[in-house]
Amino acid sequence: MQTRRQFIQKAGLTTLAAVNLPFADSFSRSVFPKEDKVLRVAIMGLGSYGTRVAEAMRDCKRAKLVGVISGTPSKIESWKEKYDIPAKNCYNYENFDQIKDNPDIDAVYVITPNSLHKPYSIRVAQAGKHVICEKPMALNAAEGKEMVDACKKAGVHLLIGYRMHFEAKTLEVVKRQRAGQFGKTLFFQGLSGFIIGDPNQWRLNKELAGGGSMMDIGIYSVNGARYMLGEEPIWVTAQEVKTDPVKFKEGVDETITFQMGFPSGAVASCLSTYSLNNLDKFFLNGTKGFAEMQPSTGYGPIQAWTNQGPIEAEHITHQTTQMDEMAQIILEGKKPIIPVDGEEGLRDMVIIDAIYEAVRTGKKVELV
């Protein structure tokens, strides 16, 4: 690589540099643009979604996979080889606090079962590294608040894995809604569900997942209602249906329908289930038009249209865009159109807590 001095000499500018003319530094900045910093990320939890994120990061320009944290030695070995990860950047769940002494890791993406999000995120923060945590951020709002407080105390970012907040067609619908293209938006419908497989997986274990479909797929409709309507709900009602109490044990919800009310008078009607496929749809209706998305939150490509016709945008792997955008948030202070910080995740947890309370009591639950 050519040094600054070599470049100046070859360009016949040695005299310019020697006399230190006022514009010499500005000239050097123009011909030596500052390189964009790259966020160096370790992934914690090397399961199917961790693998999806790792593969997507191969195409990132601002984020790079540099480390792993896993309780399975064989996975660490295979990832070291596949992603060219140095041994010094590999940790297990017992010793990963040592990342505090590793200057080659900037952030850790926590992709573990839900019950481990809080303790591991707090440990990462206490080690002085930025935290990216998969959603839902915690088992409940109280845990989420602990995470937010811990990251603030440590002076690190806490971001939640809301990949849809960066998806092009989603953002276009949000921009049009905010611009008033649909008039006053008064209704949102969110349908989120699929038929879940292996009955022994952690997502059907209350201690690990914190619930059932609501803690997995239902959060998309909770979050989607908020960013599609551009408001925070003030009340919820909810009902649970369980057809298979063997597969869906006590505390593990199979299907929940829930409703939310908003200050403007808008309402949301949503469904979360582990027992039906072909449920991945958002519908937003206003006094002047509508927007519909189906699929709305899958890995893509997303399909979206309005009363004016289809929305066109290039499909880019969601996690690639997510990680590049999060790198700019952490490194440059970029402000996303839809927030992805810990407070955003905490708002969803408050609503999910209220939904579970509404199911338990059969009453409307007011949100403060």
Structure tokens at 71: 């309780």
Structure tokens at 298: 């899958």
In angstroms, rounded to a whole number, what is the distance separating the alpha carbons of residues 130 and 41? 9
Q: How many residues does the chain have?
A: 368
What are the residue ranges of helices labelled H in 167-255? 168-178, 206-209, 213, 219-229
CA angle 203, 207, 208 (to 5 degrees): 40
10 assigned to active site: no
Residue from 102, 111, 43 nearest 76 by CA:
43
In angstroms, rounded to a whole number, what is the distance separating the alpha carbons of residues 284 and 185? 7
What are the residue ranges of helices labelled H in 66-214? 73-83, 117-126, 141-154, 168-178, 206-209, 213
Q: Quick check: 235 and 365 in contact, CB under 8 A?
A: yes
Hey, CA dihedral for 161, 164, 168, 171, is it positive or negative? negative
Of 120, 162, 220, 274, the active-site residue reads: 220
91 assigned to active site: no
Structure tokens at 112: 């573990």
Of 91, 109, 120, 135, the active-site residue reads: 135
In angstroms, rounded to a whole number, what is the distance separating the alpha carbons of residues 95 and 44? 12
Active-site residues, by number, are 135, 220
